[in-house]
Amino acid sequence: MTTLPRTASAVIVGGGVVGCSIAYHLARRGLSDVVVLEREAVGAGTTSKAAGGIRAQFPTETEVRFSLESMRVFERFREEFGVDPGYTKIGYLFLVVDEEDLRGFETRIALQRRLGADVRVITPADAQKLVPALRVDDLVAAVWGPQDGMAGPAEVTNGFARRARELGTRILEGVEATALDMPDGRVRGVRTREGAIATPLAINAAGPAAARVGKLAGVEVPVYPRRRHIFFTEPFPEIPGPVPLTTDRASGFYFRKEMEQVLLSPGDVEDIGEDTNVPMDWGKVHDAVEKAVHRVPVLERARIAGGWAGLRPLTLDDHAIIGWAPSVEGFFLAVGFGGHGFQHAPATGRYVAEWLLDGTSSLDLSLFDPARFARGGAAARDRGPDAE
């Protein structure tokens, strides 16, 4: 049985990429007696389902800055963590079929370029030069981000976890947070079946289980887990790699090469509740194949070899929720990362550690304000591409 420490300066609930990044950054800043509670194993949650995509193409300044900060970390990951994260700049390519959609891209691209991201509108013919297998006759344009790319979610999560442990963090696997002690309305401890840990600070980094963990503190956390599938083909040399992560804006379908295989997703969004063992719906293969063959006709000859499904922890406006939970002292939220939690985890760790240790973060995080939903300020604005 796991022996729990009696006290901790902070308890992080959730050992996914977000929780491990926060733990590492807190430890690096000198907070060594932090505990991470992970009910399964490090990285076994929705982090293990991610496609590994990393892009600078986001609709808001804060998120673009998050991406650029994360890219800097991926760039030097090997030196800092002693692990090769498999970071490759394969690029992101969005295929655009209507003018109005293109106008939205142009507005966002102006912002992204101002902040230093390399993103450009290219012609359908140029898109086909990048990926010769594409059908482009119905496109009005494509949007190309050559500095975007991918890395391995497991490698990155384990890199954060290992360094955090070396710096003194206790990461306890197979231990579930079951209650929060809040005798006077503020966090005093976290309870588990194995015992309790006294702490003034609990951090909800529970991914798709964020709402459930929020309830432990009586806080409504508006994170909605939605299922998405990814399938992979048998080795398919007809499309030589590397291939940019290519998204068809008309259908939501995306694909890229993974070694010799093609990874493809129908871009589905489905409410199946918050089940830890996300069941697959093999019926979704037809949807994926239909969309794939429309955009990449040669895929008709590919054979699907397998697939998986995972939960994306969505919010109403597609922005994460980062900050103090309204109404409960000592309860911090770092949740709701949707389809981009892997790529934003390095930046999240850094800015959350600054906030908690310095009282403020060097980047304005008001976009992620947990209170925005109650204020009615979280309408679905220009959300940009739902890419992963």
Which residues of this chain interact with ligand FAD, rule CB under 6 A?
Answer: 13-19, 37-40, 44-47, 49-53, 176-177, 205-209, 213, 228, 230, 310-313, 337-343, 388
Element at 228 (helix H, strand E): strand 224-233
Which residue, 67 or 102, is less far from ligand FAD as judged by CB?
67
Residue type, 13: V
Residue 78 buriedness (CB in 10 A; 0-12 / 13-18 / 19+): middle
Separation of alpha carbons 377 and 388, rounded Å: 25
Give the nearer residue to ligand FAD in terms of CB position, either 98 or 176: 176
Query: C-beta of 109: minimal distance to ligand FAD in Å?
Result: 20
- Among 299, 207, 293, 289, which Cα is nearest to 18's? 207
Q: Which is nearer to ligand FAD, 124 or 149 (CB)?
A: 149
Q: Which of 377, 373, 368, 371 is nearest to 322 (CA)?
A: 368
Reduced to 3 states (helix: H, G, I; strand: E, B; else coil), residue 174 is: coil
CB of 138 to ligand FAD, least distance (A): 26
The label of the residue with tokens 């890219």 reads: 71
- Nearer to ligand FAD among residue 151 and residue 302 (C-beta): 151
Smallest gap, in angstroms, from Cβ of residue 276 to ligand FAD? 7
| Least distance in angstroms from the C-beta of 247 to ligand FAD | 11
In angstroms, what CA-CA distances link 339 with 232, 268, 300?
Answer: 19, 12, 27
In the complex, minimum distance from the CB of residue 384 to ligand FAD, in angstroms, rounded to a whole number:
14
Q: Which of residues 46 and 62 has its CB atom nearest to ligand FAD in the complex?
A: 46
Q: Which is nearer to ligand FAD, 228 or 295 (CB)?
A: 228
Q: Cα separation of 126 and 141, whole Å?
A: 9
Q: How far apart are the first and last CA of the chain?
A: 38
Least Cβ distance, residue 141 to ligand FAD (angstroms): 23
